[in-house]
Structure 1
Amino acid sequence: MKDAKPHRHRFRVIIQHAVWLYHRFSLSYRDVQELLHQRGIEVSHETVREWCIKFGSLFAQELRHREPRRGSRWHLDEVCTTVDGVRHWLWRAVDEHGFVQGIVLQRHRDTDAAKTLLTTLLGEYHVPEAIHTDQLQRYGAAIQELSSLVQVGHQEVVSAARCNNLIEQSHRPTRRQERQQQGFKRKKRTQEFLNLHARIENLRHHSRTSVPAETRRINQKQAFQTWSMIAAGVA
């Protein structure tokens, strides 16, 4: 079981659980290896890493295809991060309910970068009723360059405004993972990691709200069932 070869997917239950643990919680590969070992599963942390790399993007794609079309208002924001010591910008979009719609890691914080985020969103979702951004002027310039968004209402808000809380809160899980990993190392790997991390956050979104315990457990059960279903089809 030391090797994660394509034909050895009879371990898919273990694989999907390992990948879930790594992306759901702020854990290292060695942490996941230890948790599996506690349950009597002997696997190296390097194998856990290979599983996350091999199956992560596939899981993210399946989850994205199963997500309903949510929201009609986009909240956009960007935060600075480092990848292998080089400054990058993490561009994110959430809807009015707080579900992550898109996340794009880019080298620059300019009009082209803002346009890339918007183009990515338009490829996945319908044209929104409104777009909320901070006061970065690049957003307005990018919106004007996209004909499908010219008539969409664009509202700029200050970063500290309460109406911007949805997007600000959405950055927090990523920051926790960044600290756990002691910074991101490779751009492609980081983008793949963040794609699945965002989809898992969406999956458990209803379980972290202030709802009765029974409702929360039902939501969590549904999230587990959805994850197991897509994982069984991939691994």
Structure 2
Amino acid sequence: MTDPKPYRHRFSIGIIQHAVWLYHRFPLSYRDVQELLYQRSIEVSHETLREWCLKFGPLFANELRHREPRRGSQWFLDEVCTNVDGVRHWLWWAVDEHGFVLDILLQRYRDTDAAKRFLNKLLAEYDVPEVIHTDQLRSYGAVIRELPSLDGVDHHQVISTPRCNNIIE
């Protein structure tokens, strides 16, 4: 009598997706995910989990990105001064009208080149907005006039009062 071939589990994509999600969503190790699955009577090695994360992680992440809602057509831009290791930096950030943070960028300068770099980074990832709300920093206006993709954008400069210039603050 011959030995039977070792039994190989065939996991459904739902189990693989759940395991990869657990690993990437929470600060868990492969062995932690292995234990969580074992509690649900699913036996899988930590090495298999590692292979799943390497193989399917980018696919699942890409699918999740496509499920995200379309970002709003109004952007609110602002910047704030902060010190990093005793050196002055400017933290630039943008949100849409729903309060979703579009991007954050830390730069050494608060000039037209810095504003252009930030807006180009936003435009590379999102569609051109209909309205851009900014504080009265003149660099924003200069860049909006300079970039051809922002020709039809309505630019609103909000009068700056401390922490009241737009929904970011």
TM-score (norm 1): 0.45
The letter of the residue matching 1:78 is E
Deviation of the 1:150 alpha carbon: 2.1
Contact 2:77 2:132 in 1 (8 A): yes
Aligned residues: 119
In the other structure, the counterpart of 1:119 is 120
Q: Which has the higher contact order (CA 8 A, sep 6+)?
A: 1
Contact 1:69 1:125 in 2 (8 A): no
C-alpha distance in 2 between matches for 1:74 and 1:14: 33
Matched, 1:153 2:154: yes
Contact 2:76 2:166 in 1 (8 A): no
Matched, 1:138 2:147: no
In the other structure, the counterpart of 1:86 is 87
Once the two structures are superposed, what CA deviation does each residue of 1:44-82 show, in whole Å capped at 9, x if it has no partner?
A: xxxxxxxxxxxxxx99xx488353221001100001112
C-alpha distance in 2 between matches for 1:117 and 1:137: 14
Deviation of the 1:151 alpha carbon: 2.2
In the other structure, the counterpart of 1:65 is 65
Deviation of the 1:162 alpha carbon: 8.9
Q: Which structure features the higher share of helix residues?
A: 1
C-alpha distance in 2 between matches for 1:167 and 1:146: 24
C-alpha distance in 1 between matches for 2:70 and 2:88: 33
CA RMSD of aligned residues (A): 2.9
C-alpha distance in 2 between matches for 1:102 and 1:11: 26
Contact 1:75 1:164 in 2 (8 A): no
Unaligned 5+ segments in structure 1 are 1-9, 20-57, 169-235
Closer, same or farther in 2 for the Cα pair 1:165/1:151, shift >3 Å?
closer
Query: Which is greater in Rg?
Result: 2
Using the aligned pairs only, state the percent identity.
61
C-alpha distance in 2 between matches for 1:137 and 1:160: 16
